[in-house]
Amino acid sequence: MKSKFTVSSFFKAKENQEKITMLTAYDYSMAKIVDGAGIDSILVGDSLGMVVQGYESTLEVTMDDMVYHCKAVARGAENAFIVGDMPFLSYHISIEESVRNAGRLIQEGKAHAVKLEGGVDVADKVRAIVKAQIPVMGHIGLTPQSVNVFGGFKVQGKDKAQALKVIEDAVALEKAGAFSIVLEGIPEKLAKIITEKVSIPTIGIGAGRYCDGQVLVIHDLLGMYSGQSPKFSKRYAALNETIKASVEGYVSEVKSLKFPEEKHTFSIDDQIIEEITR
Ligand code: KIV
């Protein structure tokens, strides 16, 4: 039987060279399924802005959105370690606001940790949140909240200056007390250097094979997102097609009176029918 995954399990996994598994989930039902399937950690990612809310980026997602989805996930997950994403502008204004917002994801959302994007630039916020006894997962490389600065969702760390910057960010997060770091959209060899350099586990998404763990957006894995899936994700199912075919079947059976059948109905005593229609 799987036991609860905790912050120490992250460190133990790195030490034992066991890969950490992480997936996003945004609601109770999906959290229950992925938790039951044995996932180590669930990320309530602000990617929900794109795959659940239909925005073109994650920038519109609010703290209230994140709290709402964290709460739903927390009710569905028994053993997985839940990480709540801090949305755009929730940790940029001041240290005080950052700690308060991180606290909401823990206190109201029932997450076990928070994740925020950035390295050197947010190290002071990470330090303060950790000081408030809230575990922090960093996120560097292709950080989606910086889409307008990057000019699109572009792989980061390909030239020397960028590569050095990503390494510097990783070291700054470790020093600030983060317990792990998501490495997104960076070359595999750079991710390997960082994974060997820092003592905290790295979780890769589009960062190759050498990270200490992997994370994917559940809609990409299940083939449920109608937008373009990134090159680094892998589809393990084609639920888009399954769902569409199921809905078409339902529509057709309702129209042709094939659904519902007698077995889907509830009965009532004929005597009562007679009395109420007399
Ligand atoms: O929001 C999210 O789902 C993420 C992952 C892509 C790491 O941050």
Inside any domain, residue 267:
yes
Does residue 157 sit in helix, strand or coil?
A: coil
- Residue-wise pLDDT tens digits, 191-213: 999 999 999 999 999 999 999 99
Same domain, 11 and 125: yes
Same domain, 37 and 84: yes
Confidence of residue 229 (pLDDT cuts 50, 70, 90): confident
Same domain, 198 and 260: no
- Interatomic CA distance for residues 210 and 204, integer angstroms: 8
- Interatomic CA distance for residues 259 and 261, integer angstroms: 5
- Residue-wise pLDDT tens digits, 110-160: 999 999 999 999 999 999 999 999 999 999 999 999 999 999 999 999 999
Active site residue 184: yes
Same domain, 186 and 262: no
Q: What CATH number did the domain enclosing 73 receive?
A: 3.20.20.60
Rounded (to 5) percent helix, strand, coil in the chain:
45, 15, 40
Same domain, 170 and 252: no
Inside any domain, residue 262:
yes
Same domain, 51 and 187: yes
Element (H, E) at 202: strand 202-205
* Structure tokens, 88: 């755009």
Q: 60 is in which domain, residue-wise?
A: 7-239
Inside any domain, residue 263:
yes
Inside any domain, residue 99:
yes
- Interatomic CA distance for residues 268 and 212, integer angstroms: 60
Distance 216 CA to ligand 1 centre (A): 8
Inside any domain, residue 60:
yes
Which residues form ligand 1's pocket by a CB distance below 6 Å?
Answer: 24, 43, 45-47, 85, 139, 182, 184, 205, 215, 217
Same domain, 229 and 263: no
- Interatomic CA distance for residues 121 and 71, integer angstroms: 29
Same domain, 37 and 161: yes
Inside any domain, residue 1:
no
- Work out how many domains the chain is built from and give that number: 2
Residue 197: partners with Cβ closer than 8 Å, 6 or more residues away: 167, 170, 171
Same domain, 177 and 260: no
Same domain, 184 and 265: no
Same domain, 213 and 87: yes
Which of 20, 41, 47 for a ligand 1 pocket mutation test, highest count of atoms within 8 Å of Cβ?
Answer: 47
pLDDT at position 96 over 90: yes
- Residue-wise pLDDT tens digits, 150-166: 999 999 999 999 999 99
Tell me what the mean pLDDT of segment 84-97 comes to.
Answer: 98
Query: Which of 184, 248, 253, 262 does the annotation list as catalytic?
Result: 184
Inside any domain, residue 2:
no
Cβ-contact 46, 66 below 8 angstroms = yes
Confidence of residue 228 (pLDDT cuts 50, 70, 90): confident
Q: What is the sign of the dihedral through the CA atoms of 229, 113, 88 and 120? A: negative
Inside any domain, residue 140:
yes
Q: Which atom of ligand 1 is nearest to the CA of 115?
A: 8
Same domain, 205 and 247: no
Distance 265 CA to ligand 1 centre (A): 44
- Interatomic CA distance for residues 24 and 219, integer angstroms: 8
